[in-house]
Each structure stands twice: as C-alpha cells, then as structure tokens.
Amino acid sequence: MEQTEKIKFGLGKRLNVIKFIVVSVGLSIFAAGIIIHQRNTQIANLQKAGLQATELASLSLADALWNVDEAAMKQISEALLINEDLTFIKVVEASGEVPIEIGEEEVRSELDLFFEKEIVKEGEVIATIYLRMTSENIFQKLNQHAKQVAVTALTLILILILINYVAIKKYVARPIKSLKRSADILANGDLNHKIKSKRNDELGSLARSFTRMQTSIRQMISDIKELNYEGEKIARAGSNDQVSYILNEVFSRHNKAEQVLILKRGKTGFTLDLGRANPENDTLARPFFHKVNSWNSIINGEVFVFGDNDEYSGFLNNLDSDIFGQYIAIIGNSNQLSVSTSDPELMATLGRIAVSRIYELQMRDIIEKQNAELEKKVEERTTSLREKSSNMKAMFENIEQGIFMVEQNQLMIHSEYSTFLQQILGHTEIGNQPLESVLLSKSNLSPNKVDETTTALKCTVGHCEISWIANRHLLAKELEYTVNNDKVKKLQVLRLVKSLSLVFYRQLRTNIDALATFQLFESSPLLQRF
C-alpha cells in the first residue's frame, strides 16, 4: 500500500514567504530612501527659496524705507507673503523702530528656517529684515508622497508575490511533488515507474539521478536473482567441469567473456585452479598468464589489455585472500569484453561459491574413498568376527560346562549362555533373569552371604580390575544348589578372564566392562579362580 507523507509547510510556501519578506524589506528600504532623499531635497529648496526671498525683500524695501513710504512697504510685504512657506516678516530700522512685522513669530517646528539681511541704501545700513520659512508644507507633501509610495510598494509586492507564487508552483513545487511521488512509488517497490526528467535544470538533474538509481536498483535485483539461481546451480554441480561450465555460461552472457578462470597466487606467480584453459598452449590463456605473472603488484578490479597487439582484455577480482587466497578472472576480446559497476560483486560472490563447491567435491571424493576403504575393512572384520562367533556358538552348544554372563544392570543373566547350563540348573528359564532368583536364592548361602555376594558383584561388574581384586574374596567359590526342590548339586564357581570372552562380547556388541563371566562345574575338583 502506497504511503504518502503529508507536508504541512512545503518548499513552495517557504520560498513565497522568503520572497515576500525580501521584497517587502527591499521595497521598504527603497521607499524610505526615496522619502529621505525628497525630504533633503525639499529642505534644500526651502533654504534656497528663503535666501532668494530675503534678497528680494532687502532690495524691494530699500527705497520704501528710505522714503518712509508705508503704503509701499505694506504692499511689498503682502507680496512677499504670497509664498506659503514664508510665515513671518520683520523689519527693524537702524534706530530700533519696527516699521514692518507681519505673521506669527512663534516657532512651529524645529526645522523652520530663519534668515536675516541688512538693507543698505547708498552705502548705509538703514534696517535689518528677518524672515522665517516653515517646513510644515514640506512634511505634508512628504506624508502624502510616502502614502503614495507605500500604496505603490504594497501593490507591487502583491503583484510580485502573485507572479512568484505562480512561477514557484509551476517550476518548483509541481516538479518537486512529482519527484516525491516518483520516489514514494519507487520506495513501495514499483521499479518500472517512469520518472519525468526532461528539464534542463537542477530538478531535471535530480530526476535523472533518480532514474539512474532506479536502473541501478533494477540491475542489482536482477543480479541478486541471477546470483541465487546460478549459485544454486553451482552448489548442485557434480564436478569441477560443471562448475567451470556454469561460470563460463554466466559471464559469457553478462560480459561477453570467452573464458572464466579461478587462479591461485603463490610465490612464483598465478596458477590455474579452475578453468578449461591451458596456460601452456591456449592462445587466450597463454598471453594472459604471461601478463599477470609479469606484474610487480596485482591490478585488482580494473580492466587491462594483453596480447601482442592488445587484442585481448581481462578483469581480475580478489575472492577475499584472507579466506580463499584466490582470484577470479574473465578474459575475452577487447572489443567485446565489458564490466559494469555491479559485475565485480557478482564475480566475487559466484567465485566464492564455486571455490566452496570445489572444496566440497574434493572432500566428497576423499570421504567416498575413505568410506570405501572403511567398508572393506568392516567387511573383512565382519567375516573374521562371523567365523569367531560361529566357533564361540559351537563351543557354547557343545562344551559340558555351565557358562553364563551377569550384566551390570540389576545383575541380570545375559540371554546368551552355554547349553549345558540348562542341564546343570535343571530348567530353561535362565536368560534375562536375575542372578539371585536363578541361582543364589536356591543355594545354601545364608541371606547375609547372598546380600554380600550381590553387593560385591554390583561393586565389581562394570568397574575396573582393581574393584574385582578388592571384592573377589566376598564371592562364594562353592555352593550347593537345589534342583526342583529335591536334588542337591554341589557347584564350583569360576570367573573367566576378559581375554577368553572378548570375542564373544564383541559379537554381541556389548560393553565388556558391563559384564562378568562365570563357569559352573558339577565336578568336585577345586578349580583356581582368576
């Protein structure tokens, strides 16, 4: 199921916000610069206008003051006040009288400009004129202009943002979303999805990188599938020739290779470990081995040329010398042999599988040979044991002595015993029966002696010879046995040495140390006990 991550604040929105901030700050700085420039210009113009008005007033009032023409002075003063920026006129004669004083003397603004100039007539200073120019009109005009600039700037910002939004959405946001969708599709396993990569910008380059990655992933998956398939074939190969055939088939199809070799490097150079080539007379292998054995250092993982006219090419790859100490090489015609970026790993992996299979085949041959020799020895030994067992069986059937064995487990009498034992004991229920019920309970031994005998046997049977030596004195050498509750037989007991019963125990495949062998005699002569 395809999963798409929801983005709360995308790249397009971020770019729009950044663009808005940058444009707003830029236009604000630009507008502020314009307003400051206009302010300075207006103040300079006001300064110039004030100087001109002062000069004009001093020239115009000179005759009227000289002639004491009040009407003319009034007329000239009113004419000067036509200028809206001129708010105050004052004339002070040399005598201190003030014939003209028009306007407000109170200062309205710190930026108001004051001017004064002496009025000269015939070389004599007759009065001094004072003027004040106000900046109120300038700031009113600046405020109006600032509002116009702000409205214009805001309108421009909105237009730029709209254009920027459309451009970013079309040329940035949509391609990025398309790439993201393609990446999500690839992440969900659809490697056949076609990625749009026709743009000739960074996004187009990124899309082409996605396409190359998609191709590489498909190639890697294809190589893994082929590696598994060919690896299984190599693992099932029954001979070195089959392993070599599979390798040549794979790399002939992949790389146009003519031969695949597995080499072993020794002190004298490279030697062939697997391959159908003959290093001595093969037209392709001979110049190859001459080339690689002439190297001072191994060129590993690079395509190289060899032959009289560099007609042939080869590629050598290490199979991990710490484990195998071997290399795999593909060789072929220089115009045809090619190696892609994923081929070295494929070569190394299949090479390691091939070498492992070669070792397995070698070990199989060794094991089969050893098994054949072992079977032969077992057969010979079985024949020998069969003959000895036959002789032992004949002895058990014909010897006129009661021979039986006691097992370590609960002192049970073994199922194999001499036939004559049945005649001595007077019944046939002997094998797999407890020694105590078959023999000891029907003897003249006291209960204490019976317990002493069974305890001694438990400490002896299945233990070392020292245990026998330490406990044999507790065993009865003679006893009287009652047959069928009426007939009493006097029996002598003898334990056989191990060597005498060794063959018999092997024939039974029973641990000899878990048994003790005894003989019963009806005859009265005392026999030495071992």
Question: What does the pLDDT read at residue 518?
Answer: 64
At residue 131, the 3 state secondary structure works out as: strand
> What are the Cα distances from residue 213, in Å, to 187, 217, 322, 484?
12, 6, 32, 98
Q: How far is CA 428 from each of CA 28, 394, 413, 492, rounded to the nearest angstrom?
A: 126, 19, 12, 20
Q: Residues 182, 228: one domain?
A: no
Q: Cα–Cα distance between 29 and 63 in angstroms, integer?
A: 52
CATH number at residue 430: 3.30.450.20
pLDDT at 109: 66
Burial class (CB in 10 A: 0-12, 13-18, 19+), 356: middle
Residues 165 and 248 in one domain: no
The gap between the terminal CA atoms of the chain, to the nearest Å, is 86
390 in a domain, yes or no?
A: no
The C-alpha atoms of residue 142 and residue 146 are separated, in whole angstroms, by 6
Beta-ladder partners of 119: 127
Residue 157 and residue 294 in one domain = no
Give the whole-angstrom CA distance, residue 181 versus residue 413. Answer: 85
| CA 40 – CA 59 distance, rounded (Å) | 29
Q: Find out whether 481 and 425 touch, Cβ atoms under 8 Å.
A: yes
Residue with tokens 């560099």: 310
Give yes or no for a contact between 305 and 299, defined as CB atoms under 8 angstroms apart.
no
Radius of gyration of the chain (CA): 62
Question: Is the same domain home to 169 and 248?
Answer: no
Query: What pLDDT was estimated at residue 505?
Result: 31
Same domain, 183 and 232: no
Q: How far apart are CA 352 and CA 235, in angstroms?
A: 11
**Overall domain count for the chain:** 3
Distance from C-alpha of 446 to C-alpha of 95, rounded to nearest angstrom: 175
Structural domain includes residue 198: no
Q: Is residue 505 part of a domain?
A: yes
- The residue whose two tokens read 């200073």 is 125
HSE on the CB side for 357, CA within 13 Å? 25
Answer whether residue 131 is part of any domain. Answer: yes
Extract the tokens encoding 94: 């040399």
Query: Is the pTM above the cut of 0.85?
Result: no
Q: Is residue 511 part of a domain?
A: yes
377 assigned to some structural domain: no
Strand pairing category for 487-495 and 515-521: antiparallel
State the pLDDT at residue 328: 92
Kindly state whether residues 177 and 107 are assigned to the same domain: yes
Give the Cβ contact number of residue 528 at 10 Å.
6
Residues 439 and 322 in one domain: no
Structure tokens at 243: 């392993």
How many Cβ atoms from other residues are within 10 Å of residue 104's Cβ? Answer: 10
- Which has the closest alpha carbon to 426: 495, 485, 494, 493? 485
Residue 448 tokens read as: 């204490």
243 and 154: one domain? Answer: no
- Identify the helix (H) or strand (E) that includes residue 328: strand 326-333
What does residue 90 show for φ and ψ, rounded to 5 degrees? -145, 135
In a shared domain, residues 305 and 228: yes
- Cα–Cα dist 196/214, whole Å: 13
In Å, how far are 367, 369, 528 from 363, measured between CA atoms? 6, 10, 56
Tokens for 450? 């019976």
Kindly tell me the sign of the dihedral angle through the C-alpha atoms of 307, 310, 313, 314: positive
> Which domain covers residue 67, as residue numbers?
7-190
Which residues have CB under 8 Å from 29's CB, separation 6+?
A: none
My answer on whether 186 and 232 are in the same domain is: no
Looking at the structure, do residues 25 and 165 belong to the same domain, yes or no? yes
Same-domain check for residues 184 and 231: no
CATH number of the domain residue 21 falls in: 3.30.450
Q: Please list the pLDDT of the chain residue by residue as tens digits (530 residues).
A: 444 455 555 556 667 677 778 777 877 787 788 878 888 888 888 888 888 888 888 888 888 888 888 888 888 887 887 887 788 888 888 888 888 888 776 666 666 788 888 888 888 888 898 888 887 777 777 788 778 877 887 888 788 778 877 877 777 777 777 777 877 777 777 777 777 777 777 777 777 887 888 777 777 787 788 888 888 888 888 888 899 999 999 999 989 999 999 988 887 888 888 887 777 778 888 899 888 888 888 888 889 999 888 899 999 998 875 545 789 999 999 999 999 887 888 888 888 888 888 888 888 888 888 888 888 888 888 888 787 777 777 777 788 778 888 887 778 888 888 888 888 888 888 888 888 888 888 888 888 888 888 888 888 877 777 777 788 788 878 888 888 777 888 888 776 543 333 333 333 333 333 455 666 655 433 333 32
Dist CA 121 CA 260 (whole Å) = 122
Q: Which two tokens stand for residue 524?
A: 């009265």
| Inside any domain, residue 212 | no
At residue 210, the pLDDT reads 77
Judge whether 514 and 407 are in contact, CB under 8 Å.
Answer: yes
Pairing mode, if any, of strands 124-133 and 113-121? antiparallel
Q: Mind giving me the DSSP string for 221-288?
A: HHHHHHHHHHHHHHHH--SHHHHHHHHHHHHHHHH--SEEEEEEEETTEEEEEE-S--TTT-TTHHHH
59 found inside a domain: yes
Residue 421 identity (one-letter amino acid):
L
Provide the pLDDT for residue 520: 61
Look at residue 526 in the predicted model and tell me its pLDDT: 32
Side chain identity at residue 490, one-letter code: K
